[in-house]
Structure 1
Amino acid sequence: MLSILKQHLLANPIGTSFPLPPFCLMVGGVSGVGKSALAGQLAQRLGAHLETTDHLREALRTAYPAEFYPELHAHSYTAWRLLPQNGLKTPKVFQGLQTQARLLEKGVQAVASRVAREGRSLVLEGVHLLPGHPIRAGYPLNVTVLLVVRSPQEHLRRLKQRAQTTRRDAGEALAHFSQVRALQEALERRARLHRIPIIAADEPGAEEAVLALLKHQSQGGRP
């Protein structure tokens, strides 16, 4: 379906014949899939405000010490180690991410509501944007996508490149690559359950696919 939507977008580009209403676009995905790059490109192209859950988590870390909220100070793919044993069937690595996401939920909601009151569209990216948990901030258009990298080899290459070229902490993700991939699998299962579009960053046209979804849903279509 995404290929059909992309073809429709090429015939009727956004910004020329079909302006979008104010929107909230959430781009989820694990470390190293290209969320920041894609979200930045989309925000610039569409004139939207850009925010990331990593910035919100960093702000909360200064307010909530590690001795009281250790899971907040862990990585998204290692927070599960801090959880007590339980009988839940949900993968433990996803439970750890859920714990972090709950701590960030009010902050994410507050940011989205503030941007909405200012009359601006919002592009929000981060691993903590779980499929099935949309932001309710009064936007007439809400779209959520999950960005993935299908190929483990390509995912590993991207993390290695990020470790070499940026100051972001990709070394830890490389050291826990199996947990990162397990978390992506869990997010994909949840996305399919909630009918959230899954977009492969290692295939051509990821940006066009998101634009096509925005346009399609602004016209009342379903993902």
Structure 2
Amino acid sequence: MTERRHGQLDFLGGASVPYSKGLMARVLAAVGVQEDQAYELARRIEFDLAARRATAVDLDRMRELAIDLLGEGAGSRAVRRLQRYRDLQELDLPVILLVGGGTGTGKSTVATEVAYRLGITRVTSTDFVRQTMRAFFAKEFMPSIHYSSFEAALGLSKAEEEESGDVALLGFLDQTRNVLVGVEAALQRALDEGWSMVLEGVHLVPGMFETNLDRALVVQCVLAIHDEEIHRTHFWSRDLSSDGGRPVDRYMAALPEIRMIQDYIVERARRCDVPVIENESRDGGIGAVMELVLERAERIARVSR
């Protein structure tokens, strides 16, 4: 099997790979169990295996232990997600996760954390693709890629500016069409090599590029923040975390354009039946994206059985 995901050891244990409390705790945390509860459940499983002189735990026994610790609802949900996680590991397919959304909606944070939980080491952004393309295409030849997505109208020609529609949106779409050429090349490389990859970025506009890839488990979603005040706070957080490298004043001045582009992406997502995830809280957004991936894995595994 071509390398696709890291962390593919059987967390339930077995004859060749004995049960690991640390691995189990990590997987439980990955599927949404609080870290302290994940560790405690992993510890109880270890004690249970020692008492029975076993090297592996089955899901039925684990469900009993999980319900005893977490309660009926939470325990059953945790084991159900664990089964989905195992389905994902056993699929002979690379995972391609595409996280779109407007500027400042938390795409990179969510993408990085979900990649970590899934054991995917290849994480990149459409902005990285854009920056790479800038090195090869001069501003005179492809002007739109030399500006931020919400400022791409500065790269439009006079004739393009006179087209019907908002110039900020026209500039963004022109930039998106250019960047998606590089995105599609990156996706093709991942498919050719059998790599799993998480790709995030504002340019992943639903319906503007091909996502029906028959050699991969593809999950696409869009993050959004509909509350303008909460959206504003994300830019303040970015300013602080980057030590001023992403100055908040620049984003505040462009907030009308940023939110207009977000509205366009969300509307496209709904037309294309792509899930839109409200990302007002970090944990909520991460959990929702994880659930999408695990549900998709479960559906494919069910068909394959």
Q: TM-score by structure 2 length?
A: 0.64
- In the other structure, the counterpart of 1:128 is 203
Superposed counterparts of 1:122-161, under 5 Å: 122-132=197-207, 133-135=209-211, 138-161=214-237
Describe the shift of the 1:192–1:58 C-alpha distance in structure 2 as closer, same or farther (beyond 3 A).
same
Q: Distance in 2 between matches of 1:92 and 1:193?
A: 22
Pairwise CA RMSD of aligned residues? Answer: 2.4
Q: Distance in 2 between matches of 1:171 and 1:70?
A: 24
- In the other structure, the counterpart of 2:98 is 26
Is 1:215 equivalent to 2:294 in the alignment? yes
Q: Distance in 2 between matches of 1:80 and 1:128?
A: 15
- In the other structure, the counterpart of 2:273 is 195
Pick the structure with more helix per residue. 2
- In the other structure, the counterpart of 1:163 is 239
One-letter amino acid of the counterpart of residue 116, structure 1: L
- In the other structure, the counterpart of 2:126 is 53
- Is the CA contact (8 Å cut-off) linking 1:113 and 1:138 kept in structure 2? no
Q: Distance in 2 between matches of 1:62 and 1:97?
A: 19
| CA deviation string 1:133-174 (max 9, x = no partner) | 334555332111000112110111110221232124654222
SS state at 1:146 partner:
strand
- Is the CA contact (8 Å cut-off) linking 1:23 and 1:139 kept in structure 2? no
SS state at 2:199 partner:
strand
- Is the CA contact (8 Å cut-off) linking 1:160 and 1:174 kept in structure 2? no
- In the other structure, the counterpart of 2:113 is 41
- In the other structure, the counterpart of 1:174 is 252
One-letter amino acid of the counterpart of residue 215, structure 2: Y
| CA deviation string 1:72-100 (max 9, x = no partner) | 11221122352421135xx5433322211
Structure 2's unaligned 5+ residue stretches are 1-31, 33-73
SS state at 2:149 partner:
coil
| CA deviation string 1:180-215 (max 9, x = no partner) | 111111111111111110001104521121122122
- Is the CA contact (8 Å cut-off) linking 2:222 and 2:275 kept in structure 1? yes
- In the other structure, the counterpart of 1:64 is 137
Q: Distance in 2 between matches of 1:95 and 1:202?
A: 28
Describe the shift of the 1:168–1:193 C-alpha distance in structure 2 as closer, same or farther (beyond 3 A).
same
Moved more, 75-84 or 178-187: 75-84
Is 1:186 equivalent to 2:264 in the alignment? yes
| CA deviation string 1:55-78 (max 9, x = no partner) | 111111111122222211122112
The alpha-carbon deviation at position 17 of structure 1 amounts to 5.5
Describe the shift of the 1:67–1:39 C-alpha distance in structure 2 as closer, same or farther (beyond 3 A).
same
Percent identity, aligned pairs only, is 29
Moved more, 183-192 or 211-220: 211-220
Structure 1's unaligned 5+ residue stretches are 1-5
Describe the shift of the 1:23–1:169 C-alpha distance in structure 2 as closer, same or farther (beyond 3 A).
farther
How many residue pairs match? The answer is 214
- Is the CA contact (8 Å cut-off) linking 2:85 and 2:294 kept in structure 1? no
SS state at 2:174 partner:
helix
- Is the CA contact (8 Å cut-off) linking 1:12 and 1:18 kept in structure 2? no
Q: TM-score by structure 1 length?
A: 0.85
Is 1:119 equivalent to 2:194 in the alignment? yes
